[in-house]
Structure 1
Amino acid sequence: MKRILWVLFVLLGIVLIAGFFFIKTLKPDYDGELELESLQQEVSVYYDSYGIPHIYGSSEKDAFRALGYIHAQDRLWQMELLRRIGKGQLSELFGKDLISTDKFFLALGIDDASAKTVSQLNKNDEGVQLTQAYLDGINSFLKEGPTPVEFYLTGIEKRPFELTDVYNVMGYMAFSFAMAHKTDPLLTKMKEQLGPQYLKDLSIHSDTSTVWLKNTLQSDSVSLKTNEVIAGIFKTLEALNIPQFEGSNSWVLGPEKTKNKKVIFANDPHIGFSQPSVWYEAHVVTPQYEKYGYHLAGVPFPILGHDRNLAYGMTMFENDDVDFYYEDENPEDKSRYRVNDSWRSYEMVDKIIKVKDSTDIEFTFKKTHRGPILNGIADQVDMKRPVSMWWVYTQHDNQVMKALYELSHANDIDQFRASLKYIHAPGLNIMYGDAKDNVAWWASAHLYQIPDSVNTKLIYDGTNYLDDQKKYLDFSQNPHAENPDWHYVYSANNQPDSIAGMLYPGYYLPENRARRIVDLLDAKDDWVMSDVQKMINDVNSPVDVATVKSLLKLIDMEGLSESDLGTLDDLGAWQGGYELDDLEATVFHRWMFYVLNDVFKDELGQGLFDEFMSTHLIKRSIAPLVNNENSVWWNDVATEKEETAKEIVTQAFHQAISDLEKSLGSDREKWFWQRVHTLEHGHPIGQVEMLRSFFNVGPFEVEGSREVINNMYFPYGEDGNYKVSSGPSTRRVIDFSDIENSMSILPTGQSGNPFSEHYKDQAQMYAEGKFRKMMMNKKEIQDQAESVLKFLPSNKN
């Protein structure tokens, strides 16, 4: 027995030692020397205390090769995941449950559009060559670096990255912006099932009474089951913790608004939380180029960035760039559809999907000149009429990478502006500030004219019809503001004013954040960086205060207990804050959930109700609804009597209080916001419970809420736990009076490698609203570097 125990002890020791050395081989190399193929001269990478690389090279190509290598060693799994979405290759990773998702993305045509774009590229173009140098760096890591643990767990082989992969990542980014996928089929289903009167009380159209983005030049303002599939796609991506682009804030203060009389730039793009977080920070310096940038996995040029001359960022424009059409199919020949006065044959597209632990799937879908027929792409689609989808992203030449190259290499506002015309999709609000005291905002997208009589939020049919041969606006007619008289620019995804005598249909967010931003910016002219840092963490909602007051006017006080009346008094005095120890916020959101549940679910049913709650439209409809007692939605169609707004609001309050007493206890002084509002950064493999604590980061109790500046969005649900799903993907504040002390933060950490010390070293700081420095001074970087990694030309060169 002793001998057996000793043998087991020795074997256990060997396993532990082997495991230790195996894990050690999986960690990223942050110091030492490495040879890199195709490198012409040495490149030095200085890592700061948060694992941010500061890359110094003699040429851009060498620097971008090094960037590709170090980006891959920290984020290869993320790169692999994102490049697979547009190619319809998630089933190869996760099995048969992803087949419908793969079918949908293959039918969208992202991969086909990418292949077409790459085939037409000029390989001598500087931007293309830098992209290839970046890919060379990634592929060098694939050959020489350790295999990330996720590859072992999913059993996939590493394969080289290509130019099409870069465009596929950008294609997924464009798709995740497109709120039309969620909204148009849903509203069409509502209209067909309930009648047009039910759409009248929803905030579908432009709202002339809300806070608008002002242009520099003013003009007079102008006053299915398919959706189940699309909603399922978004749910699948969310379950896999694949980041989806949701909204954003940004504001740029001109020198007239700041104490030090220099521009201050702020930006916090709102994206679905994931682990690793979406952005990879890198500071790249050569004799001809310098940029401190934020990179998507597999994309060489920063989408957010700054240097000593200028800073730029983005929010989502939210314009409508997706159209759905009912097609008129030939009843005698289902292979043909009507185009004007003649019949045209569908294009039949064959695809193959590889499925983990199963045989390959072959499927065929129909395609019109507009785009794919959605029917039949997923098994659960069973519509009587064919529905096709037109998407500006796949219909036009893709020059987004050209735009990213040029804007990242611009030296002044004129060069920067000139690069934006190449962005056709996704629609972006590009925010800009510089050291020469310029501030600007441009809406970048291919916008087109739409007749007033056409409702873009419904599937086009008959009189509601938009010709697919659209009349596009020149970029100069896009909404924009350059150095306006009010001395700042901002965006909170809200409705833009017109510069072309027309409005731009879209899926804009309600005024909540915009109103708060404008109120704060207008109130003072001596802003400093610490003020902006505080503002970017602001958690107050004047709109929620107004909504509460509207609810209080409707509630029937008869029969309420003394505790209930006290709770209502507290709500009446609430200032709309979402701090950790706030009590009223907890009551308000539970009450609001039951109001929405009782108002909409009886007509929509659970499925459509869940889809409606995931759209921007529900956010826009809340405030108008509680101020419209005559809305058709208040009546509960499941009962014989006709309910009033007063009855529904009162019923919802009782439901909310009962629910909170069950979940949080009878002591209402302990209904703190922090008990219900939490953030956990999920990793796809963290869905496996035994691996959750290793791959996931959190949970954390966090301040913020839906549609406050610190926009910690959560979906409403039955359980009353508000698990944050999206929010600031970074918080950046850049002060041109002190550019080397500009500040930032990432939600978890710089590395996506769970064995790296930088996997989650910013997570607690982020949850607490803190910042860290973005270092730019070379001497300071060298003096404070935690490690130095040198890349040397390979003997194979």
Structure 2
Amino acid sequence: MNYSNLTRPARIIAAILLTAASAASLATPRSETRSLAGLATPARVVTDHWGVPHIQAATARDAFFLQGYTAAGDRLWQIDLWRKRGLGRLSASFGATFVAQDRAARLFLYRGSMAAEWAAYPADSKGWTEAFAAGINAYIDEVSAGRRALPPEFALTGSAPEHWTADDIVRIRSNALVANLGNEVARARSLCLGGAKWEPIRIAIEPRHSVRLPEGLDPCSVPAAVLSDYLLATAPVSFDGQRVAAASAMQLLTAFNASAADEGSNNWVVDAAHSATGRPILANDPHRAHGVPSLRSVVHLDAPGLHLIGAGEPALPGIAFGHNADVAWGLTIFGIDQEDLYGLALMSPDTYRFRGKTRALTSVVERIEVKGEAARTVTLRFSHLGPVIWSDATHAFAVRSVWAEPGASGYFNAAWMFGVRDAAEFDAASRHWGTPPLNFVYADRRGTIGWRAAGFTPVRNNWDGLLPVPGDGSHEWHGLMPASLLPAVRNPAKGWIATANEMNLPPDFPNETRHVGYEWADRSRIDRIGAVLGAKPTFDLADAMALQTDQVSPLALRTTALLHGLSGDTPDQIAALALLSRWDGGEQIDSAAAALFEVWSQRHLRHATVAAVVPATAQPAFTNPALGAVVTTLADPGTLLGSHPETTRRAILLGSLGDAWAETARLLGPEPARWRWGDLHVARFVPAVATVAGATLRAQLEMAPLQVGGSASTPMATGMGGAGFDVMSGASVRMVLDVGEWDNSMFINTPGQSGNPFSAHYRDLYPLWAAGQYVPLVFSPAAVEREAESIVSFTPS
């Protein structure tokens, strides 16, 4: 890989790590034998030099048992926190400040029939999940007995890990990304404030569609704080005392929508005819908010009837993406709208109007244990639509989500894919998918490649899902759309398929009647990926890795194209125009133009556009417009820029650009030749619990800051959040798969495979990730043995 655009420390560290790993591969692996209660037959876990556990067992049940045991060994604090957050059990471990979050989380637990839930998954999946949970519990028992160390985060917080059940895992829904509740509320607030005409500046609607105000909805009836419980239920755990508050509801909603927009993914697959290997190549790099430990863990399961390797959330059995012996697959978010906000007219505190009659709310009283205090009793209320998240004396709001459907546990339907033998079987398996909604690309050893959009899709017969609707019976879902009606492609003539969360419904797809979704990511990443894939007759693994770390932004080029032909009025404007006119859109860390562009586009251009054209009364709903929507408006303003659009556009562009030049000079100094994007764009990975740690432990928990290139609009997505330019989201895992010659495959996971801050694999992959480097993803028994760092042999106890 090309190191030229990396910081010198990152280059040095990456080179040292790769050299050390090469030397370590020649050493004899460490060996250990353990007796393990709950294991039925002897088994092994071979951990390679990159911290990947390769689990070798005599039965699938024991493989999943050891996956749970190993996940607890590597990530006990992380998965225990995942379970407590999802089940609403944080207060029992951390105190009364978490009662509100626990109550919110319990609103969104699956509360339907568990028999129906398990029936929605493969027949073996419940047994696998019970084994996985038993493996976690076995490790916890060893910790309790003093045979394994308690991770330091538990001592720091005065808490202890809890035992798991299989039902715990599938009942939790809040780990799956669904859409578009936040934008429904933001759009209602915009319409209430008179911003309907200017909505195209805030967010793009695709395919072309006229948003219709649902009959019976007063957009001003939607409170700004209506999503407080929803945001709290889906929020990460914070130990710094900050909680969702109604007073900051609009700011929180804006931040929520912005972070969701930046959390995309890339995947693509190239067929054998267009691959330099003569075999398909599949690449995937899902983007989510970064964390410590990594959101995902890479694992290899090898047992009779079960052979797969890939990445998934460490609290779930199996993998979400990767490959088995015959088929590879990757995923990105597909824009199905899987939730709706309903307004209820209350007839009394416990009843609401439905189809001209009175219908009762269901109240559930639950006891929340509180550390060091008496337990709290909370009341959860549910309509026939779903949980009530806000109410006053006369109105309430409820959420209907596919989360409530059997089979909607996030990523759990990957179990259907574990044993597929070819592309046709994979396509059939993907039709079971519930949440989150996904673009699957896949390839089999025979050379077939394909794409399938997947996910539970509500049937809305008379509205589009873009605004809240009355819950009086006039806007009911009519079941779920058959999965076969979602789009799919097999072996396209061009020889490749790529997705990046863009609007990829086919031109003839009847979205005006099916209302699958209207809100998608900007096309910047997919345009760059498509341009690169289409420009070469053949594509190899190195090309795939280079494209995953590509830092060219078509959105930046679309934006700077607006400046063509303009001349500045001030020295700052003239200098800024000169710098950006020479720029190729590359957002490398040493780019001065990238630094100026990001300061301009993030801090000035969007807000200047809103200030110039949106009425002041509506501007509170436009605090964070999508850059792509703003650029599209400026490029083709129609009537949105008033009666003199050219004059208004020139004033917006030059005024904001001059202000951006001045701010960049304040941030990076007066000499543009010394400006570097990397000086602003820094990865700072800090675990939530570090905020309550002492200086020594905090230093052990945190990652050293590293400069990173790219942005949210480059294939190497490095999304920002908050007031600054720090990297907040992107690809923790990147994976490139050589279909059929699996040992050639490569991956990276940041900051490391382990969640133990004292493990060698806690941060070892972090500088490699920042440097755009990869490590082997070995699969064959011989390659696993060759890369072994340690081998633990387990015998049943």
TM-score by length of 1: 0.84
The answer for the alignment partner of 2:156 in structure 1 is: 153
The answer for the alignment partner of 1:22 in structure 2 is: none
Q: Which of 432, 435, 450 is residue 425 of structure 1 equivalent to?
A: 435
* Contact preservation (8 Å) 1:191, 1:198: no
* Alpha-carbon distance in structure 2 between the residues aligned to 1:391 and 1:122: 17
How far off its partner does 1:122 sit?
A: 10
The answer for the alignment partner of 1:748 in structure 2 is: 751
* Contact preservation (8 Å) 1:446, 1:472: yes
* Alpha-carbon distance in structure 2 between the residues aligned to 1:419 and 1:431: 13
The answer for the alignment partner of 2:232 in structure 1 is: 233
The answer for the alignment partner of 2:660 in structure 1 is: 656
> What is the SS of the residue equivalent to 1:134?
helix
How far off its partner does 1:729 sit?
A: 2.0
* Contact preservation (8 Å) 2:345, 2:394: no
| Residue 42 (1) aligns with residue 59 (2) | no
Map 1:164-563 → 2, pairs under 5 A: 164-169=167-172, 171-174=173-176, 177-207=177-207, 224-226=223-225, 229=228, 233=232, 236-237=235-236, 246-330=263-347, 333-376=348-391, 385-398=395-408, 403-451=413-461, 454-461=463-470, 467-498=475-506, 500-502=509-511, 504-551=516-563, 557-558=568-569, 560-561=570-571
> What is the SS of the residue equivalent to 2:441?
strand
* Contact preservation (8 Å) 2:610, 2:622: no
| Residue 673 (1) aligns with residue 677 (2) | yes
Q: Percent identity?
A: 23
| Residue 103 (1) aligns with residue 103 (2) | yes
> Residue 84 and residue 606 in structure 1: after superposition, are their counterparts in 2 closer, same or farther (change >3 A)?
farther
> Residue 579 and residue 764 in structure 1: after superposition, are their counterparts in 2 closer, same or farther (change >3 A)?
same
Q: Which of 111, 134, 137 is residue 135 of structure 2 equivalent to?
A: 137
How far off its partner does 1:396 sit?
A: 4.2
* Contact preservation (8 Å) 1:327, 1:388: yes
Q: Which of 553, 578, 585 is residue 587 of structure 2 equivalent to?
A: 578
* Alpha-carbon distance in structure 2 between the residues aligned to 1:606 and 1:779: 68
> Residue 373 and residue 400 in structure 1: after superposition, are their counterparts in 2 closer, same or farther (change >3 A)?
closer
Deviates more, 1:699-708 or 1:686-695: 686-695
How far off its partner does 1:237 sit?
A: 2.1
Map 1:582-621 → 2, pairs under 5 A: 582-592=591-601, 593-600=603-610, 613=624, 618-621=626-629
> Residue 608 and residue 723 in structure 1: after superposition, are their counterparts in 2 closer, same or farther (change >3 A)?
farther
Q: How many residues in Structure 1 have an aligned counterpart in Structure 2?
A: 723
The answer for the alignment partner of 1:759 in structure 2 is: 762
> What is the SS of the residue equivalent to 1:187?
helix
* Alpha-carbon distance in structure 1 between the residues aligned to 2:583 and 2:640: 30
* Alpha-carbon distance in structure 2 between the residues aligned to 1:168 and 1:611: 36
1:138 maps to amino acid: I
* Alpha-carbon distance in structure 2 between the residues aligned to 1:312 and 1:588: 36
* Contact preservation (8 Å) 2:270, 2:280: yes
* Alpha-carbon distance in structure 1 between the residues aligned to 2:403 and 2:122: 25
1:131 maps to amino acid: T
Deviates more, 1:31-40 or 1:582-591: 31-40
The answer for the alignment partner of 1:702 in structure 2 is: 708
> What is the SS of the residue equivalent to 2:175?
helix
The answer for the alignment partner of 1:68 in structure 2 is: 68
Deviates more, 1:565-574 or 1:190-199: 190-199
How far off its partner does 1:746 sit?
A: 0.5
How far off its partner does 1:281 sit?
A: 1.4
How far off its partner does 1:98 sit?
A: 3.6
* Alpha-carbon distance in structure 1 between the residues aligned to 2:234 and 2:374: 25
Map 1:710-721 → 2, pairs under 5 A: 710-715=716-721, 717=723, 721=724
* Contact preservation (8 Å) 1:279, 1:297: yes
Encode CA deviations 1:165-205: one digit per residue, 9 max, x unaligned: 21145x1222xx12413211111111112242232544442
* Alpha-carbon distance in structure 1 between the residues aligned to 2:280 and 2:653: 47
The answer for the alignment partner of 1:682 in structure 2 is: 686
* Alpha-carbon distance in structure 1 between the residues aligned to 2:227 and 2:699: 32
How far off its partner does 1:291 sit?
A: 0.8
1:484 maps to amino acid: P
> Residue 154 and residue 492 in structure 1: after superposition, are their counterparts in 2 closer, same or farther (change >3 A)?
same
> Residue 238 and residue 98 in structure 1: after superposition, are their counterparts in 2 closer, same or farther (change >3 A)?
closer
How far off its partner does 1:370 sit?
A: 0.5
Encode CA deviations 1:605-641: one digit per residue, 9 max, x unaligned: 999969963xxx7244132132244665889xxxxxx
* Alpha-carbon distance in structure 1 between the residues aligned to 2:639 and 2:102: 41
Deviates more, 1:595-604 or 1:333-342: 595-604
Deviates more, 1:414-423 or 1:233-242: 233-242
* Alpha-carbon distance in structure 1 between the residues aligned to 2:101 and 2:286: 26
* Contact preservation (8 Å) 1:251, 1:491: yes
* Alpha-carbon distance in structure 1 between the residues aligned to 2:44 and 2:619: 55
> Residue 96 and residue 190 in structure 1: after superposition, are their counterparts in 2 closer, same or farther (change >3 A)?
farther
> What is the SS of the residue equivalent to 1:153?
helix
The answer for the alignment partner of 2:779 in structure 1 is: 776
> What is the SS of the residue equivalent to 2:287?
strand
> Residue 140 and residue 634 in structure 1: after superposition, are their counterparts in 2 closer, same or farther (change >3 A)?
farther
> Residue 190 and residue 75 in structure 1: after superposition, are their counterparts in 2 closer, same or farther (change >3 A)?
same
| Residue 733 (1) aligns with residue 742 (2) | no
* Alpha-carbon distance in structure 1 between the residues aligned to 2:197 and 2:491: 44
* Contact preservation (8 Å) 2:555, 2:713: no
> Residue 198 and residue 321 in structure 1: after superposition, are their counterparts in 2 closer, same or farther (change >3 A)?
same
> Residue 460 and residue 574 in structure 1: after superposition, are their counterparts in 2 closer, same or farther (change >3 A)?
same
* Alpha-carbon distance in structure 1 between the residues aligned to 2:455 and 2:120: 23
> Residue 297 and residue 341 in structure 1: after superposition, are their counterparts in 2 closer, same or farther (change >3 A)?
same
How far off its partner does 1:143 sit?
A: 0.4
Deviates more, 1:366-375 or 1:90-99: 90-99
Encode CA deviations 1:231-270: one digit per residue, 9 max, x unaligned: 8538952857999892110000011211232100000000
* Alpha-carbon distance in structure 2 between the residues aligned to 1:494 and 1:680: 28
> What is the SS of the residue equivalent to 1:159?
coil
> What is the SS of the residue equivalent to 1:744?
strand
Deviates more, 1:74-83 or 1:254-263: 254-263
* Alpha-carbon distance in structure 1 between the residues aligned to 2:623 and 2:474: 24
The answer for the alignment partner of 1:23 in structure 2 is: none
> Residue 334 and residue 106 in structure 1: after superposition, are their counterparts in 2 closer, same or farther (change >3 A)?
same
How far off its partner does 1:515 sit?
A: 0.9
- Show structure 2 runs of 5+ residues with no match: 1-28, 143-147, 210-222, 241-255
How far off its partner does 1:353 sit?
A: 3.0
* Alpha-carbon distance in structure 1 between the residues aligned to 2:163 and 2:615: 47
> Residue 605 and residue 308 in structure 1: after superposition, are their counterparts in 2 closer, same or farther (change >3 A)?
farther
Encode CA deviations 1:706-747: one digit per residue, 9 max, x unaligned: 121000000262xxx411111012111111364211100001
2:505 maps to amino acid: D
The answer for the alignment partner of 1:7 in structure 2 is: none
> What is the SS of the residue equivalent to 1:769?
coil
> Residue 408 and residue 666 in structure 1: after superposition, are their counterparts in 2 closer, same or farther (change >3 A)?
same
> What is the SS of the residue equivalent to 1:727?
strand
1:514 maps to amino acid: I
TM-score by length of 2: 0.84
* Contact preservation (8 Å) 2:229, 2:389: no
